Amino acid sequence: MKLVKRRKPLLDEPLIPTVSDVKKKYRSGTLIGRFARHFSESKNTRKLVIGNLAAFVVATSFLPTVRPNTVLASDETVIQPTTQLVTEKGIQLPLSYLKINQGFSFFHPGIDMGAEVGDPIKPIKAGIVTEAGYETDGYGKTVYIDNGNGLGSRYAHMSKIEVKVGDKVTMDTEIGKVGLTGHTTGPHLHLEIHQDGVAINPLTVLPR
């Protein structure tokens, strides 16, 4: 006669034991603590967690993947957007090089860029000229440009202004020349950048 070894049941012990079973198995600790120990040490709990995790991975592998910049219509057909996005050119230096004579501070709401008298000045960004003339408050010959979206820029101590109020300027427009008009001890360009009327450090937005 051939003996057949009996297989163990699928579950060695019940998943949720009775209170008496837990008390017999663990002699110390609170009732809640004994149950916690049972679940953490139970093979059945680990089997259940691993089985559910595997089932979740298999199920989610069949879900459709939606790529960025696509739109799902009500019938779940994929429609590619037809709008062409135009990337606007960023902010540029107003001079051909960057040399800082004085930085931004509470008492100096801009930067002084060292230059030679007559060096051409271009706007940091396209916009509309809102000020162009001589200011007696220390700026001397100055130009202010509304660059749009709350951004504005001032160019001061110029020797020559080549634009007028209302002009639309591009990043290739020469708005004037470097000078030393107003309160200055030497030729340079005083540049201020404002966001929603508040002066910000130009070095945080200018290219390096």
195 found inside a domain = yes
Q: Looking at residue 208, what is its pLDDT? A: 81
Cα(177)–Cα(76) distance, rounded to whole angstroms?
60
Q: Domain count of the chain?
A: 2
181 found inside a domain = yes
Q: Looking at residue 101, what is its pLDDT? A: 96
Task: Specify whether 42 is located in the same domain as 126.
Answer: no
**Token digits for 57?**
């991975």
- Residue where the block lists tokens 């202004």: 161
pTM for the model: 0.58
Q: Looking at residue 74, what is its pLDDT? A: 35
Q: How far is CA 79 from CA 64, 76, 155, in A?
A: 15, 9, 48
Contact criterion met (CB below 8 Å) for 176 and 190? no
72 found inside a domain = no
Tell which of 65, 88, 122 closes a domain. Answer: 65
Task: Specify whether 197 is located in the same domain as 121.
Answer: yes
Task: Specify whether 105 is located in the same domain as 199.
Answer: yes
Task: Specify whether 119 is located in the same domain as 194.
Answer: yes
Q: Looking at residue 128, what is its pLDDT? A: 98
10-residue mean pLDDT series, the chain (208 residues): 47 60 61 60 59 56 40 37 43 96 95 97 98 96 97 98 98 98 96 97 93
Q: Where in the sequence is the domain holding 128, given as residue range(s)?
A: 100-203
Half-sphere exposure of 77 (CA within 13 A, CB side): 3
Task: Specify whether 27 is located in the same domain as 104.
Answer: no
CATH number at residue 157: 2.70.70.10
Give the Cα-Cα-Cα angle 80, 81, 85 (nearest 5 degrees): 140
Q: Which residues contact 99 (CB under 8 A, 6 or more apart)?
A: 113, 114, 115
Q: Looking at residue 167, what is its pLDDT? A: 98
